[in-house]
Structures are given as structure tokens and as C-alpha cells.
Amino acid sequence: MVGRMTLLPYEHANLRLRYRQYLELATMVTLSLFVVALYTMPKFESIGLENSVYIAPIESYEIPPETEQFKKPAPPMRPSIPIESEPDEIDVEITIEETGLADFVAIDAPPPPPVSDRRFIPYDEHPEPLGGYGALQKNVVYPEIAREAGIEGTVIVQALIGKDGIVHATEIFKGIPKTGLDEAAMNAVKMTAWKPALQRDKPVTVWVNIPIIFRLSSN
């Protein structure tokens, strides 16, 4: 006959008590190990990347000592310069014998001179033609067209006379277009050698107005 083991109520209660004791003991051991691990593990400092700022090292430079700046003395006062005025005029009258009249043939006038900034240069002595104004008169040729048409008048030539006495540029300040008189006047001025203008006994380059009067002898 097979025997049967019957669990008594006392033993059943004792088993439940031991189970609870084992559970409490395991919990205490686990907590103890956690506390020990917490204190024995190395500590790490937390760094907030969003708040980190990089500051570059500041380089120091040696600043040279300031030097005292001395102002240059003002240049001595020069004599007052006269107010800018128009170039002086030199009158030259050219008289040509009258000839018979013929049909007048018009020629094109030269283009207007370009606008340029001119600085007035004062001078003490006017420029003069070498050999007198007779030398300038010899260089003037009355245009055949104007002479045959009986055209007379005054042409004012603006001339730039350099320090070397050479005419470097000419312009028509007042002319008689399409007659050939303007070209004849400018050519005569260019062909003439000049004594330059003087400023304090030194030659200077100046602009002058040279009126040349073309007149036929019968008038």
C-alpha cells in the first residue's frame, strides 16, 4: 500500500515565512550592492554643449610709443596774384591791295576747339614776335577766296606761347567762318617765332589773344 505524505498546516505556514525572509534578505543585499557600487564608481562631470563657449587666446602686441608730430612751417607769403583775366590782345592790321571780284567759293570752317581748363598765369612782360610785328605781318597771306570776294574783318587767334617762344596751340576766339581768314590767321601766328612772356625775369607759358585785321587797300 502506497503511503501518502500530507502537508500539515504548521509546515505550510513555516514555508511561507521563510520565503518572505528570503525575499527581504535578497532585497537588502541588492540595495547594499547598489549603494556600494554608487560610491565606488568614478564620477564624471557633465558638460552642457549648448552652453560651451570657445574663447580664443588673446595675443599681446607691443604698441610703439607715440612720436610727436611737428608741423611744417607755413611757406612764406607770396605776392598776391592778380585776378584771372582774358589774355592780352595784340593788334596787327594787314592791308592787301584790292583786286577784281570773282565768284565766292565757300569752304568748311574748322571744328570748334575743345573745352579745356586753363589756369591764368600772371606775367610782367608780354610775349612779342621776334623781329617786331612786321615779322608777323609778313607771314599773313590774304586768302585768294576772301580777296576776290572783297571780304574783310578781324580774326582773333588765341595762341599758347611756350617758354621756348614756340606756339604750341592755336584756337579761333572770334573768326569769319568759310572765308579762309581763320586758317590764314592761325598759320601766320604759328609760323612766327616769339619772345616768351616773362614773370620775374623767367620765361613762362601763357595764352594770349592776337587780333589780326584783314583789310583791302581801297577801303
Helix (H, G, I), strand (E, B) or coil at 23: helix
- Contact, 205 vs 172, CB < 8 A? no
20 within a domain of the structure (yes/no): yes
Q: Within this chain, do residues 110 and 182 fall inside the same structural domain, yes or no?
A: yes
Q: Within this chain, do residues 28 and 100 fall inside the same structural domain, yes or no?
A: no
78 within a domain of the structure (yes/no): no
Given this model, what pLDDT does residue 103 score? 30
Helix (H, G, I), strand (E, B) or coil at 211: strand
Give the structural domain span for 163.
92-216
Q: What is the CATH number of the domain that holds 151?
A: 3.30.2420.10
Q: List the alpha helices (DSSP H) in the chain.
A: 9-40, 133-138, 144-149, 181-191
CB atoms closer than 10 angstroms to residue 87: 19
75 within a domain of the structure (yes/no): no
Q: Within this chain, do residues 22 and 126 fall inside the same structural domain, yes or no?
A: no
Name the phi and psi angles at 92, rounded to 5: -135, 120
Calculate what percentage of the chain has a pLDDT beyond 70.
Answer: 55
Q: Within this chain, do residues 21 and 102 fall inside the same structural domain, yes or no?
A: no
80 within a domain of the structure (yes/no): no
Q: Within this chain, do residues 169 and 102 fall inside the same structural domain, yes or no?
A: yes
Q: Within this chain, do residues 33 and 97 fall inside the same structural domain, yes or no?
A: no
Which range has highest mean pLDDT (19-23, 97-101, 128-132)? 128-132
1 within a domain of the structure (yes/no): no
Distance of CA 36 to the CA centre of its chain: 83
123 within a domain of the structure (yes/no): yes
Q: List the alpha helices (DSSP H) in 41-155.
A: 133-138, 144-149
Q: Within this chain, do residues 119 and 21 fall inside the same structural domain, yes or no?
A: no
Given this model, what pLDDT does residue 10 score? 55
Cα 212 from Cα 92, distance rounded (Å) = 5
pLDDT over 80 (residue 198)? yes
Q: Within this chain, do residues 116 and 27 fall inside the same structural domain, yes or no?
A: no
Q: Within this chain, do residues 15 and 104 fall inside the same structural domain, yes or no?
A: no
Q: Residue 129 — pLDDT band, cuts 50, 70, 90? A: very high
Q: Tell me the pLDDT tens digit for each residue of 29-71.
A: 888 887 777 777 666 554 444 443 433 343 433 445 555 555 6
172 within a domain of the structure (yes/no): yes
Cα 199 from Cα 124, distance rounded (Å) = 5
Tally of structural domains, the chain: 2
Chain-wide mean pLDDT for the chain?
72
Cα 99 from Cα 154, distance rounded (Å) = 19
- Contact, 197 vs 127, CB < 8 A? yes
Given this model, what pLDDT does residue 81 score? 44
Extended beta strands in 97-196, E state: 128-129, 153-161, 167-174, 194-195
- Contact, 101 vs 148, CB < 8 A? yes
Q: Within this chain, do residues 12 and 98 fall inside the same structural domain, yes or no?
A: no
Q: Within this chain, do residues 199 and 125 fall inside the same structural domain, yes or no?
A: yes
pTM for this prediction? 0.50
